Amino acid sequence: MTALAKTKTPAFDVAKIRTDFPILSRTVHGKPLVYLDSAASAQKPQAVIDAITRAYTQDYANVHRGAYYLSETSTAAYEAAREKVRAFINAKSLSEVVFTKGATEAINLVAATYGRKFLKAGDEIVLTAVEHHSNIVPWQLLRDAVGCELKIVPVNLDGSIDVAEFAKVIGPRTKLVAIAHVSNVLGTVLPVREIADLAHAAGAKIILDGCQGIVHQHVDVQALGCDFYVFSGHKLYGPTGIGVLWARAELLDAMPPYQGGGDMIDSVTFAKTTWAPAPAKFEAGTPPIVQAIGLGAAIDYLNSIDRAAAAAHEDTLLRYAMTSLAQIPGMKLIGTARHKAAVQSFVMEGAHPHDLATVLDRSGVCVRAGHHCAQPLMEILGVSATTRASFAIYNTMDEVDALVTALRRAQEVLL
């Protein structure tokens, strides 16, 4: 390792950050834990764990309809989390922030409500070749229901996607563009503002899958120019079971409900039901109360650190990892686009990705192996699966070294 590569990012103390995540002090198979699977789900800081514990042990009750102290306290914490999300993504109003159980549900909500109301046979939805299954299957279901068509923008072999390719595919029949902000397999950061401008020029709306994007960079939904933005809490250092749909207020107002039940109604008779305004219209039943509070705590935590310095730290980790991995004989990096977030997939000649991940685990190194819910992309790349290392604010250069050392040992075992 060069002296330059070992240099710590100014204003970012990763050693201090690591003390905030209790799980990172444990061992696995007698080895220090090296957690490199944050793209699947990030670890949780103590502040989030404490907020969840406090919600269950001190303040828990159902929200919105209880005329007693605990319900009022729980409601205040739940709605405070909505405000934290609003500010974090620079939404114009609280009414634009809908809590869901995850990003997958958020995309399905848009497909089942906006899609079924406003798309018809012959209309087109534009996707890219790098999409997660959660941003493919809901649109296939919509296609099968209303007869619209899916158009796919290709990906280059290095994992980049050219805006010019969007210009070729987006046309007068395009009604919706549904794309990842950042690829969960390749780490590619898509030029979403330029794509949004193309979509709007054609009269189409654009939805961004922000599960990876919001983790690695500042997100301003107004500056991005999108119409819908979705993300999950568990990748953003928050709990599972919570996601967010942001949409422009006028779109939510025009969309029918996704589910029926309590909290989403204005009035109910056997003859007719009227709906509450957004976001309540899309939050039927008891919401993910404590999960939302946990997400709010995760946002508070992220706001307490220098996000720009954290992003620089992650980029340093990525560049060092790419250089180090490329020096391993028989190693092929999958996804080397210029604009990348801290996600790196790879394949090793002669070693199946699942076998590789299993051997790495014996060294305490946690990586993901498989198709990463992106089977169409795997087919395009000509591989059945990859191994993926994904980096977060708590990872270190020494952990990159541990990954490389474990991979070299794995070669001795498997080849």
Catalytic residues: 373
Distance of CA 226 to the CA centre of its chain: 16
Q: What is the spatial distance between Cα 232 and Cα 99, in angstroms, rounded to a whole number?
A: 10
Closest by CA to 186, choosing from 214, 154, 212, is: 212
Q: Which residues, in sequence order, are CB contacts of 210 under 8 Å at separation 6+?
A: 103, 181, 182, 219, 229, 230, 231
Query: 352: burial class by Cβ within 10 Å (0-12, 13-18, 19+)?
Result: middle
Question: Other CB atoms closer than 10 Å to residue 282's CB: what's the count?
Answer: 24
The position carrying tokens 């087919």 is 379
Please measure the distance between the N-terminal and C-terminal CA atoms of the chain and give it in whole angstroms.
Answer: 26
Omega of the bond leading into 257 within 30 degrees of 0 (cis): no
Sheet of 149-153, strands arranged across: 97-100, 243-247, 228-232, 205-209, 174-180, 124-128, 149-153
Q: What are phi and psi of 331, to 5 degrees?
A: -90, 135
Closest by CA to 415, choosing from 319, 344, 350, 354, is: 350
The position carrying tokens 């201090």 is 16
Q: Which residues, in sequence order, are CB contacts of 3 under 8 Å at separation 6+?
A: none
Tell me the DSSP string of 14-56.
Answer: HHHHHHT-GGGG-EETTEE-EE-BTTT-----HHHHHHHHHHH
Question: Other CB atoms closer than 10 Å to residue 415's CB: what's the count?
Answer: 11
- Asked whether the beta carbons of 35 and 42 are under 8 A apart, the reply is no
Region of 370 on the Ramachandran plot (φ > 0 left; ψ -120 to 50 alpha; else beta): left
